[in-house]
Amino acid sequence: MISIKSTGTFTGAGVLTAIAASLCCITPVIALLAGSSSIAANFSWIEPARPYLIGLSIAVLAFAWYLKLKAIKTNDMDCNCETTKKASFLQSKTFLGIVTVFAILMMTFPLYAKVFYPKPKVQATLAVVDNKQEVKFTIQGMTCEGCEEHVNNELSKVNGVLAYKTSYATRSSLVTFDKSKVDEKTIEAAINKTGYKVKSYDFMNADNTGVSFYEAPLVCHAAPSIGCGSKAKFLLVDLEKYNDAVEGAWLNKTGTVVAVKWNTKTEADKKVEIIKTVSTNHNIELTTLAQTEATDYANTFPNSSEWYRGKEVDKLSKEEAGIIAKNTIASYKEKKLIKPSFEKQFQADIEMIYADLFLSISSYKDLTTEAYNKVESQIQQAGEKYVGKGKMPHVELCIASEESCEKDKSCSPGSGKSCCDKN
């Protein structure tokens, strides 16, 4: 038979599981009251088990009530009956009722935890426009509205912070601040002070929501002043295929940085996974920029004269074709292969030949030595229009590809000069 003492055991177990279920939200309040923020997120690991702990608490308390309310059986055959002792207060229905109410309060603690936090004070008006900056901080450890209030309370103390919107559901905090008074590193330190940890952050503005910047080796060999459209195009297009996570991908004009605009619900781990996958598929390493450098690019993004989205990099390919044509004509002039009166027309022909090549490929891997040999043949034929059939010397250009230049160490990519003559 289960004794009254067993009822007390189940009562205690019910209370403990109820407290454990909300310990991840209770701890931040204790930390705030104790003035020790470092312990705030110590029990955030319990959050995934919260539904199970609540269920266990309800089951244990329900069984305790069952034991308390069920009728006590007596044995009429027992002639040595003892007088039943009066149960103590700790074994009474009143105490079990109090414990049940306490357990319910513990289980629902996340719903009202924010009342324990002081109302955050607003330090400044959002009228500051010139120096206003928005940054979205991705935060680890938040599990309830109480966690949001804890973070907001710390942010309200930072001089220069204008507004903040913290959400445990998205594990993030969108902070607006006056960058002439405070920087993102100081704000990150304030959030970390709560015991939760900033995992990453992205710069935001009216045109730039959730944008990350990555260093990229996409400078043209043949035209070092601009980005290589034919190489970047397919990488950007592949990034945008992840339309559930990516809103757009851009290359800056110089070909040194790729910008990715993420959907607001995209998790940091998902971003890392996508960048790694695309980098591997295209054999192009994308490295996250340091925040100081990212800030400079965030200020110009997405200026149409500085950034090219997806297939817009075809404009860079056309510009590259023009630069190659100019360098090729310079090489012919140096060798006195063509009369000055034909230079402009021949340069236009060469530009069109290269532009057609860059815009017709389906992958950067299509730019093989064979493809460039075909281009050289087309240039040869175009030149014969001006110097006469069979009179155009064959010139192997040093702008074909890295592969061809590796075979001939006398040339350097992008020089625009001929490697060797074949008469």
Pick the more confident residue, 261 or 100: 261
The first and second tokens of residue 212, run together, are 């990350």
Each domain of the chain, given as residue ranges in start order, spans: 4-67+93-113, 132-205, 211-313, 315-422
What are the tens digits of pLDDT across the range 319-346? 998 998 888 888 877 777 777 888 888 8
SS3 113: helix
pLDDT of residue 12: 67
Q: Is the pLDDT of residue 240 over 60?
A: yes
Mean pLDDT of the chain: 75
CA distance 332 to 349: 14
Q: Is the pLDDT of residue 312 over 80?
A: yes
- Indicate the Cα dihedral angle 415, 417, 419, 423, nearest 10°: 160
Domain 132-205 has CATH 3.30.70.100: yes
Kindly write down the DSSP assignment for every residue of 248-277, as one continuous string: EEEEETTSSEEEEEE-TT--HHHHHHHHHH
CA distance 143 to 110: 9
Of the listed ranges 96-110, 271-285, 330-344, 379-393, the least confidently predicted one is: 96-110
pLDDT of residue 362: 82
pLDDT of residue 117: 62
Of the listed ranges 119-128, 339-348, 400-409, the least confidently predicted one is: 400-409
CA distance 33 to 37: 9
Contacts of 422 (CB under 8 A, 6+ apart): 393, 394, 395, 396
Tally the C-alpha atoms within 13 A of residue 343's C-alpha that lie toward its C-beta. Answer: 14
pLDDT of residue 259: 92
Of the listed ranges 78-87, 291-300, 317-326, the least confidently predicted one is: 78-87
pLDDT grade, residue 421 (50/70/90)?
Answer: very low
pTM over the 0.75 mark: no
Question: Which H/E stretch holds residue 421?
Answer: strand 418-422
Amino acid at 107: M
CA distance 419 to 146: 69
Kindly write down the DSSP assignment for every residue of 146-197, as one continuous string: HHHHHHHHHHTTSTTEEEEEEETTTTEEEEEEETTT--HHHHHHHHHTTT-E
Amino acid at 119: K
CA distance 197 to 78: 66
The first and second tokens of residue 381, run together, are 């034929």
Span 215-226, average pLDDT: 88
Of the listed ranges 37-46, 55-64, 172-181, 361-370, the least confidently predicted one is: 37-46
What are the tens digits of pLDDT across the range 172-216? 898 988 888 999 899 999 998 887 888 888 776 544 567 889 999
Q: Is the pLDDT of residue 141 over 90?
A: no
Q: Which of 111, 228, 137, 231 is nearest to 191 (CA)?
A: 137
SS3 for 187-214 is HHHHHHCCCCEEEEEEEEECCEEEEEEE
CA distance 194 to 158: 13
Pick the more confident residue, 93 or 13: 93
